[in-house]
Amino acid sequence: MMRRLKFILAKLIRYQYKFIMTKDRKRYLERIHNIILKMPSCLEKVVAAILLVGVAYSCIQLGIHVLSLKELAFDAYIEDILVTAFNAVIVIEFIRMLIKHSMNTIVEVLIFAIARGLVVEHEEPLEILIRIVCITILLACRKYLFYEKDFEEEL
Most confident of 9-18, 71-80, 98-107: 98-107
- Residue 53 pLDDT class (50, 70, 90 cuts): confident
Tens digit of pLDDT for each residue in 22-41? 667 778 778 888 887 777 77
**Identity of the residue numbered 8:** I
Q: Which residue has the higher pLDDT, 152 or 48?
A: 48
Contacts of 80 (CB under 8 A, 6+ apart): 65, 72
Angle at 94 between CA 89 and CA 96, to 5 degrees: 100
What is the chain's mean pLDDT, rounded?
76
C-alpha to C-alpha distance for 17 and 23, rounded to whole angstroms: 10
Q: What pTM does this model have?
A: 0.56
- Distance of alpha carbon 20 from the chain centroid: 41
- Residue 17 pLDDT class (50, 70, 90 cuts): low
Tens digit of pLDDT for each residue in 114-143? 888 887 777 888 998 999 999 999 999 888
- The answer, yes or no, to whether residue 155 has pLDDT greater than 50, is no
CA atoms within 13 A on the CB side of 43: 6
- Residue 70 pLDDT class (50, 70, 90 cuts): low
Strands (E), the chain: none
C-alpha to C-alpha distance for 19 and 13, rounded to whole angstroms: 10
**Identity of the residue numbered 139:** L
- Residue 47 pLDDT class (50, 70, 90 cuts): confident
C-alpha to C-alpha distance for 84 and 61, rounded to whole angstroms: 9
Tens digit of pLDDT for each residue in 91-104? 887 877 777 777 88
**Identity of the residue numbered 44:** E
Contacts of 91 (CB under 8 A, 6+ apart): 51, 54, 55, 58
What pLDDT score does 151 carry? 61
Cβ neighbourhood burial of 106 (10 Å; 0-12, 13-18, 19+):
middle
Give residue limits of the domains in the chain: 42-151
Share of the chain above pLDDT 70, in %: 75
